[in-house]
Amino acid sequence: MKIRPVILCGGSGTRLWPNKKNHQPKQFIDFGNWTLLGKTLDRIKGPLFDNPIISTNKNYLKDVKKHLKIKKITKFKIILEPSKKNTAPAILSASLIKDIPEKQPLVFLSADHLIEEKNKFNLSIKKHQKYLSNTNIFIFGIKPTAASSEFGYFITQKGTKKINKVIKFIEKPNILKAKRIIAQKAYWNSGMFFLRKDSIINNFKKYQNSTYKNCLEAVTKSKYRNNIYYLNKRSFNKSKSVSFDYAVLEKTNNINAIKLNLSWSDLGSWKEICKTFNKLKSKYIKQKNIFYRPWGKYINLFKGRNFLIKELFVKSRGILSLQKHFHRAEHWVVTQGTPKISINNKKLMLKSGEHIFIPLGAKHRIENPGKKPVRIIEAQVGSILRESDIVRYQDIYGRAN
């Protein structure tokens, strides 16, 4: 039996935007002729997978249909939620539609994850399919590349049939604790799941029976037209707003892990977006977008809606002006060298791989006191992203306002 992919596409992405009213859900952001939802749809093409199911809400319906058309996916189902109730009702409702047989293997994917090693990921799914039962759950873990407080973790032990059994979850620890649990071979909890339909039903009946009844009623009473299930609003809204992790995973002891050692990101911060552009920058560099300055040069890599990604190259002894902006904030990730950074009254030295945020209106400066060049990937976020939005207070090259 083929695996049915269910794509959870309800995230709002407000963490990325200073102006919450004009935010863009990150799964739909155009990063240069690609989006995260588009990459996810590419990943589930092929003989391993059945037609996709997409769980979303009415605000995103137009964008979802646009992406399906671009990717030439004509066979699909869309589950339209009348309100946001977190991942537990979303996962359950998508599983309960009549198109899915009882023993259907389902893989739940987030629309906003970037996984470039498609074959490696899909091979890991195929390998574990034979171990699915009517009660167990497999979760995908990512081998950490660094200690992070932005993700949850889990710890495993070897079980039967070479399966890794999850014995403990850790919710977004501080950096010190993250380092300790990584030393115990903890993995990041990716928020992706692999299980059968009957396992979902059995687990919800056991641990969240009221949510099960409400979602079943919402699906049974839903209106269906043009491949879209419009869930019954009254029934669905009776469900508790709760994550799948809290509703089920933290209560059952029948959880196994699929451990992945591959490049993965949820692009949940401008720091992660900058790192991704640094890896892909050769695709974006154009001669016409290189601008030379007395302190070095900068390259405009990509301009999106309300954001601009640049690479700054600061030569040895180069010093940018002490400046501020009225209409944009900036995120910097150092990729080479050791720059001296000034933000208002603070001065600090950054190393390669470190990140810093420059709030809107803060006076700031970059200096390169070293002999080697400094490289920084910069994300400008705001309503005006032009050089005109620079107020210079001090400048060794005579450009102060």
- What is the predicted pLDDT for the residue at 22? 67
CATH 2.60.120.10 positions along the chain are 271-394
pLDDT bin (cut points 50, 70, 90) of residue 307 is very high
CATH superfamily for domain 4-266 = Spore Coat Polysaccharide Biosynthesis Protein SpsA; Chain A (3.90.550.10)
Tell me phi and psi for residue 267, to 5 degrees. 45, 45
CATH 3.90.550.10 positions along the chain are 4-266
Cα of 79 vs its chain's centroid, Å = 21
CATH number listed for the domain at residues 271-394 = 2.60.120.10
pLDDT in tens, 77-113: 999 999 999 999 999 999 999 999 999 999 999 999 9
- What is the predicted pLDDT for the residue at 20? 64
Q: By the 8 A CB rule, do 229 and 220 touch?
A: no
For residues 99-112, b (16+ Cβ closer than 10 Å) or e, as one string?
ebeeebbbbbbbbb
Q: Considering the entire predicted model, what is its pTM?
A: 0.93
pLDDT in tens, 165-188: 999 999 999 999 999 999 999 999
What pairs with residue 328 in β-bridges?
A: 382
How high is the mean pLDDT of the chain?
Answer: 94
- What is the predicted pLDDT for the residue at 216? 98
pLDDT in tens, 183-202: 999 999 999 999 999 999 99
Mean pLDDT of all residues in 272-285: 93
Q: Is the pLDDT of residue 18 over 90?
A: no
pLDDT in tens, 231-267: 999 999 999 999 999 999 999 999 999 999 999 998 8
